[in-house]
A and B are shown apart, each in its own frame.
Chain A
Amino acid sequence: MTLTQFLFWFLSALSIFSAIMVVISKNPVHSVLWLIIVFFTISGHYILLNAQFLAIVNLIVYAGAIMVLFLFVIMLMNLNAETEPQKNKWLKITGVIGGGALLLVLVAALKDADTRNQMAQMGTGDIGLIHNLGMALFKEYVIPFEISSILFLSAMVGAVVIGKKE
Chain B
Amino acid sequence: MPINYYIFLSVALFCIGVAGVLTRRNAIIIFMCIELMLNAVNLLLVAFSKMHHAVLPVLDPNAGINGQLFVFFIMVVAAAEVCVGLAIIAMLYRNTHSVDVNFLNRLKH
Q: How many residues of A contact B (CB 8 A)?
A: 82
Given contacts A62-B35, A77-B99, A151-B76, contact A98 B5 (CB under 8 A): no
Query: Mostly helix, strand, loop or mixed at chain B's interface?
Result: helix
Q: Which residue of B lies closest to A32 (CB)?
A: B32
- A51, A85, A128, A144: the one contacting B26 at CB < 8 Å is A85
Residue of A4, A42, A74, A98 with most partner-chain B CB within 10 A: A42
With a CB–CB cut-off of 8 A, which chain A residues contact B21?
95
| Interface status of A10 (Cβ within 8 A of chain B) | no
Task: Give every chain B residue within 8 A of A121 (Cβ-Cβ).
Answer: 50-51, 53-54
Interface residues of B in 1-54 (CB under 8 A from A): 1-9, 11-26, 28-29, 31-33, 35-36, 39, 42-43, 46-51, 53-54
Assuming the A-B contacts A92-B23, A98-B22, are A127 and B99 also in contact, with contact meaning beta carbons closer than 8 angstroms in the complex? no
Docked complex Cα distance between A115 and B48 (Å): 10
User: Is the CB–CB distance between B71 and A54 below 8 Å?
Assistant: yes
